[in-house]
């Protein structure tokens, strides 16, 4: 096999040798390792005043081609056939391989946000010269350790203005490179798709500097679609001219695109169609003599230059003079900072764990749990459907706070061995979502991978069946497993399938992560198997990583708890002491409050049910019905009441909110607010079954006498009729309720 060899002209008139590896690249498995997002790199330069730029000598040639693969990259010349022993420009995956190499050798310094690296370009920055020199020496030391060299003519040291990746960087400001903008006004109007793509390629590189870029460029982008006929008109001429004018103005402080748009609502709760926020920017704000960097969302709404939102006001806690209309930042001294700082004090483990379980105290230690899970026969397999095509994905940018959280996540999980660097040809997106406590939860979006995964039909327990086992119980102990899914390894050879892409590179999990298809089934199977004997004796309830132990007396409860702890110890599993509850008569489990002989809905979950706003979209309605369906066992004739609402969630059903649906919505909120309690059934006592049926659904309630001899519901069941069943006669529909 061989690839063509030829020369192309360089700007200085010399010739550049090239190998045409297109045919080879077409047959090469792609490496999904990402190159850094230039916008994310620029965001790290906040507060930077001094810069040093280094340029690596030999570039790709610093990397060997893997032994045995050299012949695949052979190229043919008039003087014979040759094969490279080092990596050449033009080879598929060369950028990914080189960026991975640079990221790995500089990982510690990159994590500290001390340098930017894009391929063979290195930018070191700081707010003072002394620190810049220290960082530069660290970088040079790493280069020396890895036998890498620099081009002195392209290196720039200790300056306050530098060109990097087509940007001119100064303290607190980023500009487009005027050299790149030279002649933008003389750019000729395109007459072919190729010429238009050339212009848009330039525009896309600098699009962050242009407000509403996508809207302005939309008429031009339309022409680049496949099979779109060429039709240049006045609308496209205006778009072309507007973009040239905007680029000529050379704005600074570019806008960044948000990972997810933020919807804006009017005062009456309706969505504002023109107010959706899609971009943010970082701007220095000067309050008196105090400079602060503000994270600002960009919107076209309102006439004010800046609106300081509640999150900013909470974080800075400024002094506001409402009479004079002024705002100032508080001056904080070391003494006040120390006074305001709170230290979390945690109790010793022996104080958290009852003495009866001190033989297993090591199971509650966090440090002991930070280990790689032992090999088990339950390794999680990712079995893909036949003809599954591996997917790459986009790389999400991140806010400064998210970058810090990402570095913490990667450092922690790399140390534990839960993830490792990857060269996978397939990748899933990585991003963060907000948790209730204001911290960030890392997420991998495995939707595409899950779509191509063969499903595991192993069932999760029915919550109703679990609750029925609690008859005659008076005392409870609840245990919460530490590390959850991470206790299960991913099957050898399947790890690369779950690779995820971050701004720090491509990584693959070695243990099971949340979001993977079949993870719940794999984990429930594992827990059911190791606790099979105890579960069979109806001594415990297990739902994923939650364990509930119960009994009618404390002595038996302690004996069962010790049995459970022994099984956990045998299987190298650990617990979270702060989430474990021992020997109580009331406990929250799976969204239920469990007491002797009674089950209630969790009042925490019901908080604000009366204030739930009336839905205006199917998505909002499904959110409400999702809550209702979880607790439907507590509500008599639930299916009949909810039927008008469920109708609206059908595919292709037009949205039509009317009085009937308003009544159903209000009735359900009132019923949930009443917080009914269910009796835990005793199979040794007689039951009374009461059924009813309407035109659209059947319902039933199961009664049993409580300790006072009064009938109390054990549960409600209701089911909507299908179109055929709705045509049954009255007595047939009534019988369906019994069946």
CATH number of 646's domain: 3.30.70.270
Q: Are residues 222 and 261 in the same domain?
A: no
Strand intervals (E) in 141-267: 156-159, 162-164, 167-170, 173-176, 256-262
Q: d(Cα 605, Cα 626) in Å, to the nearest integer?
A: 13
Tell me which of 470 and 157 has the higher pLDDT.
157
Instruction: Give the pLDDT of residue 341.
Output: 43
Residue 75, domain member (yes or no): yes
How confident is the model over 295-306, as pLDDT tens digits? Answer: 677 776 666 667
Quick one: which H or E segment has residue 287? strand 277-287
Instruction: Give the pLDDT of residue 670.
Output: 87
User: Which pairs from 47-50 meet CB under 8 Å and 24+ separation?
Assistant: 47/127, 47/172, 47/293, 48/125, 48/126, 48/127, 48/169, 48/171, 49/126, 49/127, 49/128, 49/160, 49/171, 50/125, 50/126, 50/127, 50/128, 50/129, 50/132, 50/158, 50/159, 50/160
Q: Are residues 67 and 125 in the same domain?
A: yes
What 8-state DSSP symbol labels residue 79? T
Range of the domain at 203: 178-248
Contacts of 30 by beta carbon, 8 Å cutoff, 6+ apart: 92, 93, 392, 425
Residue 320 in tokens? 């506001």
What 8-state DSSP symbol labels residue 206? T
Contact status, residue 456 vs residue 521, Cβ threshold 8 Å: yes
Instruction: Give the pLDDT of residue 497.
Output: 95
Instruction: Give the pLDDT of residue 274.
Output: 67
Q: Are residues 358 and 483 in the same domain?
A: yes
How confident is the model over 230-276, as pLDDT tens digits? Answer: 999 999 999 999 998 888 776 555 566 666 778 877 766 677 766 67
Q: Are residues 286 and 365 in the same domain?
A: no
The pTM for the full model equals 0.71
Instruction: Give the pLDDT of residue 118.
Output: 94
Q: Are residues 421 and 361 in the same domain?
A: yes
Q: Are residues 605 and 517 in the same domain?
A: no
Q: Are residues 184 and 290 in the same domain?
A: no
Task: Give the pLDDT mean for 22-27.
Answer: 94
The last residue of one of the domains, among 156, 171, 186, is 171
Instruction: Give the pLDDT of residue 336.
Output: 44
How confident is the model over 500-538, as pLDDT tens digits? Answer: 999 999 999 999 999 999 999 999 999 999 999 999 887
Q: Are residues 559 and 441 in the same domain?
A: yes
Q: Are residues 392 and 473 in the same domain?
A: yes
Q: d(Cα 135, Cα 129) in Å, to the nearest integer?
A: 10
Q: Are residues 404 and 453 in the same domain?
A: yes
How confident is the model over 549-578, as pLDDT tens digits? Answer: 999 999 999 999 999 999 999 999 999 999
The total domain count for the chain is 5
Residue 384 in tokens? 């893909």
Q: Are residues 306 and 380 in the same domain?
A: no
Contact status, residue 526 vs residue 517, Cβ threshold 8 Å: no
The last residue of one of the domains, among 542, 577, 596, is 596
Mean pLDDT check: name the lowest of 398-402, 555-559, 733-737. 733-737
Instruction: Give the pLDDT of residue 117.
Output: 94
Helix/strand/coil percentages in the chain, nearest 5: 35, 25, 40
């Amino acid at each position: 096999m061989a690839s063509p060899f030829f020369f192309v002209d360089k700007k200085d008139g010399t010739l550049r040798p090239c190998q045409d590896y297109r045919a080879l690249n077409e047959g090469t498995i792609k490496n999904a390792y990402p190159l850094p997002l230039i916008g994310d790199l620029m965001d790290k330069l906040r507060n930077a005043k001094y810069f040093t730029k280094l340029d690596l000598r030999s570039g790709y040639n610093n990397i060997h081609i893997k032994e045995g693969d050299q012949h695949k990259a052979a190229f043919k010349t008039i003087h014979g056939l040759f094969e490279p022993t080092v990596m050449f420009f033009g080879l598929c995956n060369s950028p990914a391989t080189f960026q991975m190499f640079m990221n790995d050798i500089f990982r510690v310094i990159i994590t500290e946000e001390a340098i930017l690296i894009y391929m063979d370009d290195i930018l070191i920055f700081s707010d003072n010269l002394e620190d810049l020199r220290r960082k530069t020496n660290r970088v040079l030391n790493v280069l020396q350790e890895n036998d890498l060299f620099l081009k002195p003519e392209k290196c720039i040291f200790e300056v306050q203005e530098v060109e990097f990746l087509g940007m001119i960087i100064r303290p607190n400001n980023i500009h487009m490179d005027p050299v790149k903008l030279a002649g933008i006004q003389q750019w000729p109007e395109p007459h072919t798709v190729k010429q238009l793509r050339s212009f848009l390629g330039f525009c896309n590189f600098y699009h962050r500097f242009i407000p509403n870029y996508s809207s302005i460029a939309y008429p031009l982008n339309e022409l680049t679609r496949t099979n779109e006929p060429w039709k240049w008109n006045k609308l496209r001429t205006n778009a072309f001219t507007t973009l040239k004018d905007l680029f000529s103005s050379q704005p600074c402080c570019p806008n960044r695109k948000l990972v997810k748009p933020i919807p804006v609502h009017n005062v009456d709760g309706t969505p504002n169609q023109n107010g959706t926020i899609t971009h943010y920017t970082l701007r220095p704000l000067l309050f008196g003599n105090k400079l602060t960097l503000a994270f600002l969302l960009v919107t076209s709404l309102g006439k004010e230059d800046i609106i300081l939102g509640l999150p900013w006001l909470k974080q800075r806690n400024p002094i506001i003079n409402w009479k004079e209309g002024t705002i100032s930042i508080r001056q904080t001294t070391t003494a006040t900072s120390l006074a305001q700082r709170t230290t979390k004090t945690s109790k010793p483990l022996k104080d958290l764990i009852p003495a009866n379980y001190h033989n297993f105290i090591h199971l509650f230690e966090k440090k002991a749990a930070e280990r790689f899970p032992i090999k088990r026969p339950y390794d999680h397999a990712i079995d893909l459907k036949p003809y599954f095509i591996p997917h790459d994905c986009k790389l999400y940018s991140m806010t400064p706070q998210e970058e810090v959280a990402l570095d913490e996540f990667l450092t922690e999980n790399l140390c534990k061995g839960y993830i490792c660097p990857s060269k996978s040809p397939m990748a899933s997106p990585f991003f963060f979502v907000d948790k209730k406590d204001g911290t960030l939860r890392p997420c991998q979006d495995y939707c595409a991978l899950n779509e191509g995964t063969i499903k595991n039909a192993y069932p999760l327990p029915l919550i109703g069946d679990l609750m029925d086992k609690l008859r005659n119980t008076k005392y409870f102990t609840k245990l919460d497993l530490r590390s959850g899914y991470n206790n299960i390894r991913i099957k050898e050879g399947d790890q690369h399938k779950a690779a995820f892409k971050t701004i720090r590179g491509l990584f693959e999990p070695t243990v099971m992560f949340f979001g993977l298809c079949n993870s719940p089934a794999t984990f429930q199977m594992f827990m059911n198997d190791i606790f099979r004997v105890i579960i069979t004796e109806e001594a415990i309830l297990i739902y994923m990583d939650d364990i509930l132990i119960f009994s009618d007396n404390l002595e038996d409860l302690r004996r069962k708890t010790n049995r459970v702890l022994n099984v956990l110890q045998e299987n190298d599993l650990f617990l979270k002491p702060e989430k474990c509850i021992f020997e109580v008569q009331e406990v929250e489990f799976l969204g239920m409050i469990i007491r002797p002989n009674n089950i209630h809905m969790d009042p925490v979950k019901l908080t604000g049910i009366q204030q739930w706003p009336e839905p205006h979209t199917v998505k909002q309605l499904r959110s409400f019905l999702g809550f209702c369906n979880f607790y439907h066992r507590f509500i008599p004739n639930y299916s009949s009441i909810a039927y008008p609402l469920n109708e609206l969630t059908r595919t292709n059903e037009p949205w039509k909110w009317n009085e009937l649906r308003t009544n159903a919505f209000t009735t359900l909120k009132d019923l949930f607010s009443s917080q009914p309690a269910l009796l835990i059934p005793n199979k040794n006592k007689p039951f009374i079954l009461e059924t009813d049926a309407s035109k659209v659904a059947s319902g039933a309630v199961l009664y049993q006498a409580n300790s006072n001899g009064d009938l109390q519901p054990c549960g409600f069941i209701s089911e909507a009729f299908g179109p055929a069943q709705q045509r049954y006669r009255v007595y047939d529909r009534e019988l369906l309720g019994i069946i």
